[in-house]
Amino acid sequence: MALKQGLHLRLQQKLSPQQIQLMKLIQIPTVALEERIKEELEANPALEEGDTADDEVQEFDQAEDQPESDDNGADDSLDTDDNTDEAVEHEMKEQDDFDISDYMDDDDIPDYKLYANNTSPDEEERESPLASGTTFRESLVEQLGLRDIDDRHRSIAEYIIGNLDDDGYLRRDLLSISDDLAFKLNIMAEVPEILIVLRIVQELDPAGVGARDLQECLLLQLRRRGHTPAVRTAERILTKLMDEFSKKHYERIMQRLGIGQPELKAAMAEILHLNPRPGNSTVESDRTVQTVVPDFFISNTDGKLELTLNGRNSPSLRVSQQYRDMLKQYSGNRHHLGRQQKDAVMFVKEKLDGAKWFIDAMKQRQITLLTSMDAIMEYQKEYFLTGDETKLRPMILKDIAEIVGMDISTISRMANSKYVQTQFGTLPLKYFFSESLSTDSGEEVSSREVKKILEEAIGTEDKRNPLADERLAEILHEKGYNIARRTIAKYREQLGLPVARMRKEL
């Protein structure tokens, strides 16, 4: 097939760099916005933190320190080299795509576009104190110091403690620990010796620490509870019938052990008082805690909802006055610019454009977030006034996009990883988006309302005879909700509720 050349006219829709930057900023939550602004401040020297009051002081200082210029108003450092030939002059004229004087026209660039103030003057600065204390592993090492053991076993025990996870379990096998001790600490220890040291670690508090699985963890705790008949029965259950216990096959347990329901109930009461995660039984655990920073605040004042945007992590931004003055100097000598001055002008213009684009994108981000959240607040007004989950209306991204006149992808980015603080708690924005279901009367209700009813039905059920999914579907049908059994199972799993057999109690 022969190659052909031709002119073709076609329409293409492409996102500009400014639009891409705006979409990325909209998606960033408030907790990560501060880091993004710091990155931009480091990358662009023409962008600074501050407000207009600082600009006026800076302009006054520069006017005091500015040296006197010559009759032509040009600085000597901006004069071109006398050896510049005509070819270079011609090349620079061809590359000159813009007029600096037009670019610096104050009528085209109002001052309010050159800065962004993201905080309120009466906004209260709140700082959360950081708590410090003894960690879970440090507590074990301190207890180990009170034990009368030699240095060799102490080193092995400290290494075992260092390999415990946040739940207090030793997930690594002893053979791997033996290899690590040989390579890292130059301690040649066989598995039997490591097992002896592990028994010492398992005697530390809290009870159950150092266990290698759930069965061993529960047995370690039972052995510290005395030797009552209920404890002995519980040990037999965990030792011989762990699988039946985990699946709650109570009838099979009573048959295998030859006990009645009172004995089984007493043994189960002992087991239920045990802690399956001993590592988290103390507040000094070193588990990382994620702090949720709300992006919006909704307050209720005498039945009137008020929405505010959290701008505490967004510093005030402005275009550097120094770079603006630098471009003005080049503008006064634009007919005498050499190659190096030309490159400097292009660099300054690029950084100024980037600073203005970022400030404009930050303003547009605030407008988009406030507009979209205001639409969500009005759409779910009944919930924000009462806090009743059954008042939540069915709402999808398309509903909000049509109200605010934006694309669905923009609303999706806005709701991603965002939180709103209300008088009923801090909730993610995705909490308010739900599917719709039809009742017998043809009314559309939110799936959140159905989940609330489902959770209440399971919470009030008889634990000795829990409700199966088929029975839950019948209850919802009686209330007028047309819902299938498989949908009940899906909603139950989303709520973190187990099947009926696993909810059974004695």
**For the chain, what are the domain ranges?**
17-63+86-117+292-386+422-427, 136-280, 436-503
Over the Cα atoms of the chain, what is R_g?
A: 35
Q: What confidence score (pLDDT) does residue 24 get? A: 82
The residue among 212, 221, 256 whose CA lies nearest residue 236 is 256
Q: What confidence score (pLDDT) does residue 155 get? A: 92
Q: What confidence score (pLDDT) does residue 117 get? A: 54
pLDDT at residue 479 is higher than 60:
yes
Q: What is the DSSP letter of 434?
A: B
Q: How far apart are CA 157 and CA 193, in angstroms?
A: 11
153-175: pLDDT as tens digits:
999 999 999 999 888 899 999 99
Average pLDDT over residues 73-96: 40
3-state secondary structure of 287: coil
Q: Is the Cβ–Cβ distance between 100 and 330 less than 8 Å?
A: yes
Q: Is the Cβ–Cβ distance between 360 and 110 less than 8 Å?
A: no
For the chain, percent of residues with pLDDT exceeding 70? 76
191-201: pLDDT as tens digits:
999 999 999 99
Q: What confidence score (pLDDT) does residue 313 get? A: 56
Q: How far apart are CA 112 and CA 107, in angstroms?
A: 12
215-238: pLDDT as tens digits:
999 999 998 887 888 988 999 989
| Res. 67 pLDDT band, cuts 50 70 90 | very low
Distance of CA 373 to the CA centre of its chain: 19
More confident: 73 or 16: 16
Strand partners, 503: none
Q: What confidence score (pLDDT) does residue 124 get? A: 47
Q: What confidence score (pLDDT) does residue 335 get? A: 62
Q: What are phi and psi of 268, to 5 degrees?
A: -65, -35
3-state secondary structure of 437: strand
Q: How far apart are CA 99 and CA 334, in angstroms?
A: 9
Q: Token match 């759409």: residue?
A: 379
Q: How far apart are CA 92 and CA 274, in angstroms?
A: 81
Q: How far apart are CA 253 and CA 266, in angstroms?
A: 13
Q: How far apart are CA 65 and CA 186, in angstroms?
A: 68
The answer to whether the pTM exceeds 0.85 is no
Q: How far apart are CA 371 and CA 400, in angstroms?
A: 10
- The Cα diameter of the chain in Å comes to 112
More confident: 90 or 404: 404
Q: Residues 209-246, buried b or exposed e (16+ Cβ, 10 A)?
A: bbbeebebbbbbbbeeeeeeebbebbbebbeebeebbe
Q: What confidence score (pLDDT) does residue 417 get? A: 83
Q: What are phi and psi of 421, to 5 degrees?
A: -100, 120
Average pLDDT over residues 459-479: 83
Mean pLDDT (the chain) is 77
Reduced 3-state DSSP string for 224-279: CCCCCHHHHHHHHHHHHCHHHHHCCCHHHHHHHHCCCHHHHHHHHHHHHCCCCCHH
Q: How far apart are CA 448 and CA 451, in angstroms?
A: 5
Q: What confidence score (pLDDT) does residue 251 get? A: 86
Q: Residues 18-36, buried b or exposed e (16+ Cβ, 10 A)?
A: beebbbebbbbbbbebeeb
What's the one-letter identity of residue 30? T
The residue among 217, 238, 249 whose CA lies nearest residue 502 is 249
| Res. 40 pLDDT band, cuts 50 70 90 | confident
For the chain, percent of residues with pLDDT exceeding 90? 12
Structural tokens at position 118: 């993201």
Q: What confidence score (pLDDT) does residue 15 get? A: 67
3-state secondary structure of 68: coil
Number of H helices, E strands in the chain: 22, 9
Structural tokens at position 87: 């070819």
Q: Is the peptide bond before 110 cis (omega within 30 degrees of 0)?
A: no
Strand partners, 307: 298
Cα dihedral 323, 324, 326, 332, rounded to 10, equals 160
Q: What are phi and psi of 252, to 5 degrees?
A: -65, -35
The CATH number of the structural domain formed by 436-503 is 1.10.10.60
Q: Is the dihedral of CA 369, 375, 379, 384 positive or negative?
A: positive
